[in-house]
Structure 1
């Protein structure tokens, strides 16, 4: 970021100002050093009929190399001085000058003021637009009337200054190069080194992960609703920390907490632990959305809270009673001890417990059970969703991510509101719960359990949680919802 910033400032604020430059495109002797058979006019260079002793030719290019136009008044000379640039040739005298090239014909009138003296060429104050240039060809001879035998003549001296130009405004020599300039090559090399170094730092930091890697084996139990998130997060953790191993016993929040209280290492629960487990320590992980799910043939996509409670009290036996298909209502729940079931009872049924099951196959009441709505229970979220899709008239509940996009079933809005974080966050959608990670006491800071819990709340873990339709607690508009004992929906 710094290098391009400096380059931009230099290019537009410094280099972009007025700048006048020149190039010596040719400076060579005109002597016939190779004894050419037909030198022609080049062998007869003279001044006033007197042959030149040591003739030489210089081609000079004057150019506007800045990003701003140069006007006549920009030349830093007196107003009555017609010359803007003066060129001298040490050791040589000027015998003739011609203008050989104009980038714009409008420059011709300004160059009519060109003045030649024996030791000096005075170029007028020529206005030039961006990228304009002109060329001057000068014929020269030695000043002492003798041929120079001890090497080349000194370079021409070009003097001129622009008011408000780059640096001190003096005319600078520009060089025409073939290929990339040394300065550009150095800048490119620097940027390459910078990119390589940055990549190495990134890869090194990426392989180590923002958290510390821990070794060992970790047994995880608990919520089947949160199981897909936990399994994906564990695979991601192992990609970064290959010395870690995970074992899963995800048979519901209640069983997971019971196992943890006895001899487990880490458990996840949809909501808080029951009383009687004082040694378990909770850490809020995610804000989890749940949804009601119906068999697609019921024709129902929206239920009020009052209708849901009547359904589970057994007061509605056929979907046509509330605008659905002529199909018997069949309720498919989670087994007691499920965190999802506890959340449904607390958030939607207003704290009222669901009646017990009266069916094993979820279609017919078991023999000897009283008449009423068919009720059954399943061990896991996947079992509930499969039974709802396969059972006519079925109604169940599930974690939102697991229920989304399944064939044979449809999600149900509650009081006109879909299962979204915004609706739940603002209190208009009731069916949600805090996913809590439980350990028996506080784990060692360097243990795999502590490291994995931290991993779930860092950027990678948060991305996985969001990908499953849930939300990290820290990202809620009302983070207090993830704290213990948030308000439940009151019973009617």
Structure 2
């Protein structure tokens, strides 16, 4: 389901209840005359009941009623406002407000019963003085009539003023037409407002004014309102199904800017940045955003800032303006010599030493690590490990992971130069040193070379294909984790910086992605890759663990 379809579902889900409310309360619900046929039974249906013969022997006008039947009709104000005489669909001069037709039956008698208040009786009866006596008679609006031609009996009810919730009942006694020899069941009564004379605007009046409505079938809402309610329920169900089972639970970035963004820099920070870039592209699908992610996109921190500097100069960006489409990430601050580059702290990365399992070590003291990387320890047995030669695998000098090792662990002293340019040429029986160009190669080489020791970003080890051959080394018993950095002062960590050439212009693809990475959903991806967030530390400018 497309986002546009979801929007339409949301619009309709809002429109339908509004329409239902207006229909129910502003149109038909404001003035609704309800009726209920609470009883419609033949006297014969009660033949086995006590005193039933009294019903069967009922007489009228000197003759016994034929197939007598009884109808109890309830008339009620089912709307939200008072019903007055002018609301009835009848000519103003007509005293009748409601007409009830009984097909195939004639009316023998009609009785008013159970009005909700006695004042309603005054609409049905009046007192007439005849000589010295006073008697009560039915008003002109309360009448019964029988038509032998179309074989119908009718009763007419007056235009009763009904306050909200008011009601009354009429009991009608009927019989089958004398000439009718059939035994078929009687049709249901037909209740309607009297129409009066026809006028061109009467259809509109019938819609907006009073209409007799059967209420026993929908005591909660009218039939149109029920249709609206079911449509609303269906819309909500479709939208909920789409949200829970179809669409991934992801909010789109606040800004998806058209353009191509080029990324450079740290191989250690690359997995997190790659994942964030892929997520950003998925969220910005259709916005014409591109982020090339080749195998050699990330070449190291030093190469990253060099490439960024070169791109800015080639684009001829004036001083005071910024490059729109390039970002470089570094482990720690870049070296001097790039005056146009502006750093922004993004996250905290934790690094770890890794050794081949054959080395037989899991924990090293800080002095022991410095001796190993200075070349003073050439066999692991010298520091309590197995009798296996040390093979020192370093990153190239442009690596941020290496520079962090030098500054944070080795007290600023660079490891000695390699003894072999190709790590595959190391002699398994002799001490040796080599260099590699990426974190992935570092881990593969260390895992496949007996006695090898290297280093990488901590979370890169667990999910790596060579992890089974590696051991992450603790330093003085301190774990290489974000918690270890914060609580035990684990030393091998660094701030990851994002560099721009000048200040990335507002509305540029570089600024949009950097905002996504530091202020929006990209932060969750950084957390998933084991990085602390600079935006959450006490001093985000320094970005140091608490």
> Which among 435, 448, 466 is matched to residue 377 of structure 1?
435
CA distance in structure 2 between the aligned counterparts of 1:234 and 1:295, rounded to whole angstroms:
33
1:471 maps to 532
Q: Is 1:175 matched with 2:253? A: no
- 1:407 is paired with a residue whose SS is helix
Q: Is 1:231 matched with 2:231? A: no
Question: Are the counterparts in 2 of residues 424 and 432 from structure 1 also a CA contact under 8 Å?
Answer: yes
- 1:57 is paired with a residue whose SS is strand
Q: Is 1:46 matched with 2:46? A: no
Unaligned runs of 5+ in 1: 7-21, 32-39, 62-90, 95-117, 123-141, 156-166, 367-371, 488-492
1:188 maps to 230
- What per-residue deviation string (whole Å, max 9, x for no partner) do you get for residues 95-114 of structure 1? xxxxxxxxxxxxxxxxxxxx
> Which among 173, 198, 219 is matched to residue 262 of structure 2?
219
CA distance in structure 1 between the aligned counterparts of 2:461 and 2:373, rounded to whole angstroms:
20
Question: Are the counterparts in 1 of residues 272 and 529 from structure 2 also a CA contact under 8 Å?
Answer: yes
**How much has 1:304 moved relative to structure 2?**
3.2
CA distance in structure 1 between the aligned counterparts of 2:335 and 2:368, rounded to whole angstroms:
29
CA distance in structure 2 between the aligned counterparts of 1:145 and 1:401, rounded to whole angstroms:
92
Question: Are the counterparts in 2 of residues 244 and 448 from structure 1 also a CA contact under 8 Å?
Answer: no
What does residue range 327-406 of structure 1 map to in structure 2 within 5 Å?
A: 327-362=388-423, 373-405=431-463, 406=467
CA distance in structure 2 between the aligned counterparts of 1:92 and 1:431, rounded to whole angstroms:
104
CA distance in structure 1 between the aligned counterparts of 2:435 and 2:332, rounded to whole angstroms:
20
**How much has 1:392 moved relative to structure 2?**
0.4
- 1:263 is paired with a residue whose SS is helix
What does residue range 302-321 of structure 1 map to in structure 2 within 5 Å?
A: 302-321=363-382
- What per-residue deviation string (whole Å, max 9, x for no partner) do you get for residues 361-419 of structure 1? 447779xxxxx953222111111111101110111110123222323212222333333
CA distance in structure 2 between the aligned counterparts of 1:92 and 1:119, rounded to whole angstroms:
14
2:124 maps to none
C-alpha change, 1:121 and 1:249, in structure 2 (3 Å) is: closer
> Which among 256, 259, 264 is matched to residue 307 of structure 2?
259
- 1:309 is paired with a residue whose SS is helix
Question: Are the counterparts in 1 of residues 43 and 68 from structure 2 also a CA contact under 8 Å?
Answer: yes
C-alpha change, 1:440 and 1:184, in structure 2 (3 Å) is: same
CA distance in structure 2 between the aligned counterparts of 1:212 and 1:230, rounded to whole angstroms:
17
**How much has 1:45 moved relative to structure 2?**
3.9
Unaligned runs of 5+ in 2: 1-9, 18-34, 45-51, 75-106, 116-137, 158-163, 170-213, 313-325
What does residue range 261-300 of structure 1 map to in structure 2 within 5 Å?
A: 261-264=309-312, 265-300=326-361
**How much has 1:295 moved relative to structure 2?**
1.0
- 2:292 is paired with a residue whose SS is strand
- What per-residue deviation string (whole Å, max 9, x for no partner) do you get for residues 201-242 of structure 1? x99xx8974213131x44332111122233333333344243
**How much has 1:151 moved relative to structure 2?**
4.4
- 1:246 is paired with a residue whose SS is coil
CA distance in structure 2 between the aligned counterparts of 1:418 and 1:284, rounded to whole angstroms:
24
- TM-score when normalising by structure 1: 0.61
2:69 maps to 56
C-alpha change, 1:467 and 1:93, in structure 2 (3 Å) is: same
Question: Are the counterparts in 2 of residues 330 and 363 from structure 1 also a CA contact under 8 Å?
Answer: no
Question: Are the counterparts in 2 of residues 291 and 412 from structure 1 also a CA contact under 8 Å?
Answer: yes
C-alpha change, 1:119 and 1:411, in structure 2 (3 Å) is: same
CA distance in structure 1 between the aligned counterparts of 2:426 and 2:236, rounded to whole angstroms:
73
Q: Is 1:412 matched with 2:473? A: yes
1:246 maps to 292
- What per-residue deviation string (whole Å, max 9, x for no partner) do you get for residues 70-97 of structure 1? xxxxxxxxxxxxxxxxxxxxx9879xxx
- 1:384 is paired with a residue whose SS is helix
C-alpha change, 1:54 and 1:466, in structure 2 (3 Å) is: same
**How much has 1:262 moved relative to structure 2?**
3.3
CA distance in structure 1 between the aligned counterparts of 2:439 and 2:237, rounded to whole angstroms:
48
CA distance in structure 2 between the aligned counterparts of 1:386 and 1:145, rounded to whole angstroms:
103
- 1:433 is paired with a residue whose SS is strand
- 2:521 is paired with a residue whose SS is helix
**How much has 1:121 moved relative to structure 2?**
7.0
- 1:389 is paired with a residue whose SS is helix
